[in-house]
Structure 1
Amino acid sequence: MPSLKPPRYQPANSLESPRFSGVRTFARLPYVQDPADVDVAIVGLPFDTGATFKVGARFGPEAVRGASALLRPYNPELDVMVFETLSCVDYGDAPVVPGFIEDSLGAIARTIQPLAEAGVVTLSIGGDHSVALGELRALAAAHGPLALVHFDAHGDYWDSYFGHKYTHGTPFRRAVEEGLILPEASVQLGMRGPLYDSDDLDTPRHAGFTVLTTTQLMHHTPEEIGALVREKVGDRKAFLSFDVDFFDPAFAPGTGTPEVGGPTSFQGLGYLRACTGLTWVGGDVVEVLPAMDHSQVTAHLGAQIGYEFLSLVALSKR
């Protein structure tokens, strides 16, 4: 059989040039701002003044890109050659406006929009979790309302903070109000920690979300969670949003609102890898805060989350 034409854009070959050399792009991919011949574009969203506690996640994209130099083409857990299947580029960063969340959400949406319209899957690196609303505005405009697969210690479904509707704790409430996501096709995984009220977890459930706390999640195998996610999402187009505080802070210390008692990195990645068989149009990894990290523990985990998402996209295209 004739060999398939390789993807146009691939990482630098780390067997020929050292990983510590070159400009820091995600997985050493080429920096390209043209969507032609691109399957997936990595986009930095360095905005963090939607955070209600510790800021500093604006430096998350830089840290995750640096750690991602260690990623390799083949994912043995999912048996897929990621970069031989996908043409991937690093698209650079959205021109966010520090301190001005609504302006930044607009800038994020305008950055993602041409990629979404061209059918390019986006992997965004935050930034605090408020950036997801800008992503969803652009992706839903191109693809229609999306199913949300959300890994997090917090539901981010509160109505407001300090009397303001736009924060990192409210993006999915706003997304539902704006008709960007389909609650009945959406799953939130890993909720835990003290809450403001006894019905905080029930509010998204009443809207139609399937919500599993960490305790509930850990009673299921990754295979069972994968089946649950596929049943909920069905054939709808899906968006992954992964907050690193989903993990226990022993495994992801570099984040702004840590919650103790979470999954290990091994367990969490297993749940993510199980989410096969979906039609992904975008995803993100958010809330990496390098100033609270040590030895790049969280940055490496954030890079791995991004890599597993690329692997899921590669599987769907293969």
Structure 2
Amino acid sequence: VDVAVLGVPFDSGCSFRPGARFGPESIRSNSRLIRPYLVAMQQRPLLDRQCVDAGDVAVSPFGIDTAVRQIYEGCRAKLRAARRLVVFGGDHTLSYPAIRATAEKFGPVCLIHFDSHLDTFPPMYDQDTWHGSPFRRCWEEGLLAKDGSTHVGIRASTYSPADFHDSDRMGIATLTAEDVHERGVLACAEVVRQRHGLSGGAPVYLSIDIDVLDPSVAPGTGTPEFGGLLAHQLLQFVRAFR
């Protein structure tokens, strides 16, 4: 299997508006509109590769620690059979166990992270793991390559400049939404490529939080932040990394 697609219907790690647990179901439903040939890429990705729908992780909505273990075990099991894993959430908490399973197979990863928030925040409400902390947890466990990772699209308010200092200390550079709007997608994509070179060729983990997009494009996100990327900009980024 070249690519396994795994759903994670979990949003108990969200601190604001829930609902992301319905994401996998909605993505599957709407994917029926997609025909095999993608004009912009001139490819037939679902026909040229062996892609399978691996179903959903059976995940508890009642406890984050239990859910993290279940997501990790689910991702690890699918990675035994598949070369690559595409995970649909679900809130961003799932990135921590998904990266843990990925790093277990491939080694520490170079993170390319599209989001309006850093998601490297410390514990909140006595909870170590939540949707704002997945990459801090990954860094604490040595799951990220020492250098080379990049946040893209950051624009949300934070608690203090220390939040950015923390992220820098973890080896993750930041391209804000303003950087993308002012410098352009291709110039920023080249920065991300150069950053990856610092990782020594580490495997790439691409994480896209839907709130990287402007609320005019994705109003249903749990944590909307105005001034975000537009759909065509995000698509241009992803295509630039082929």
Which of 28, 39, 55 is the aligned partner of 2:2?
A: 39
**2-side partners of 1:50 and 1:193: how far apart?**
18
Shift of 1:119: 4.5
What percentage of aligned pairs have identical amino acids? 37
How many correspondences in the alignment?
239
Matched, 1:262 2:228: yes
Distance 2:99 2:2 in 1: 18
Aligned to 1:180: 143
Aligned partner letter, 1:113? R
2:68 aligns with: 105
What are the within-5 Å matches in structure 2 for residues 137-156 of structure 1? Answer: 137-156=100-119
Asked whether 1:249 is paired with 2:212, we answer no
Rg bigger for which structure? 1
Q: 1:118 aligns with which of 58, 66, 81?
A: 81
Tell me, what secondary structure is at the counterpart of 2:163?
coil
Q: Letter of the 2:181 partner, please give it.
A: M
> Is the 8 Å Cα contact of residues 46 and 58 (structure 1) preserved in structure 2?
yes
Instruction: Determine if contact 1:229/1:275 at 8 Å carries over to the other structure.
Output: no
Q: 1:63 aligns to what?
A: 26
**Contact 2:179 2:188 (8 Å CA) reproduced:** no
TM-score, normalising length from structure 2?
Answer: 0.94
2:4–2:82 CA contact under 8 A, matched in 1:
no
Distance 2:217 2:54 in 1: 29
Q: Does the 8 Å CA contact 1:149/1:238 hold for their aligned counterparts?
A: yes
Instruction: Tell me by how many angstroms 1:84 deviates.
Output: 2.6
Residue 75 of structure 1 aligns to a residue whose secondary structure is coil
2:155 to 171, 180, 192: 192
TM-score after normalising by structure 1: 0.72
The 1:245–1:222 alpha-carbon spacing in structure 2 relative to 1, beyond 3 Å, is same
Answering whether residue 203 of structure 2 is matched by residue 240 of structure 1, we say no
Give unpaired runs (5+ residues) of structure 1: 1-37, 277-318
Match of 1:3 in 2: none
SS at 1:201 equivalent: helix
List gaps (5 residues or longer) in structure 2. Answer: none
Paired residue for 1:209? Answer: 172
Could you say what secondary structure the match of 2:70 adopts?
helix
Residues 226-246 of structure 1 show CA distances to partners (whole Å, capped at 9, x for unaligned) of 222222223221111100100
Distance in 2 separating the partners of 1:183 and 1:63: 36
Mapped to 1, the partners of 2:41 and 2:149 lie a distance apart of 23
